Amino acid sequence: MFRVAMLVFIFVTGSSTASLALDNGAKAPDFRLPGTKGAVQLADALGSVVYVDFWASWCGPCRQSFPWMNEMQEKYREKGLKVIAVNVDAKSDDAKKFLTQNAAKFIVAFDAKGMTPAQYGVKGMPSSFIIGRDGRVMSTHLGFNASDKGKLENDIKTALEAR
């Protein structure tokens, strides 16, 4: 039901400006999840800027965001960016099929129970959070389309430049 509500919300509103539960400056909730290459824990990325993206295999805008996240990871890796994409599909086979069609050159984690998106107050797919080197939320974003790319990249650059 949670996934259906998110899907309806994002497609009905078409909005990327709806607020998420975590405010800027809030401490990002830590998580430890299984990933494609072992356990993924947010605390392990402390000292880096982290772009946390919540996605699902059924999400059209998520398909569009993957190439962009690959580009951002490659472009800003040396400056300290880590992209972590958290899948929320109940069936891991759905996520694995998506990943065979949409290559991920960044960290992918799985949360089939939806505990992590609940902690972050996710209201739609995809939802992203830029977390500063200190572990605090610097910006949030709901949805993804071509017009979002410039603002999101500027938010990443701002986070990377902050000390």
Run means of pLDDT, 10 residues per run, the chain, 163 residues: 43 43 92 97 97 97 97 98 98 94 97 96 96 97 95 98 88
> Which domains, from first to last, does the chain contain?
2-161 (3.40.30.10)
Nearest to 28 by CA among 90, 71, 84, 70: 84
pLDDT of residue 19: 52
Q: How many residues does the chain have?
A: 163
What phi and psi, each to the nearest 5 degrees, are found at residue 25? 95, -15
Residue 60: CB partners within 8 Å, gap ≥ 6? none
pLDDT of residue 20: 59
pLDDT of residue 13: 35
Residue 107: CB partners within 8 Å, gap ≥ 6? 35, 36, 37, 40, 82, 83, 84, 85
Question: Do residues 107 and 142 touch, judged by C-beta distance below 8 A?
Answer: no
> 9 is written with which tokens?
């919300």
What global pTM score does this model have? 0.88
pLDDT of residue 68: 98
What is the radius of gyration, based on Cα positions, of the chain? 14
pLDDT of residue 26: 95
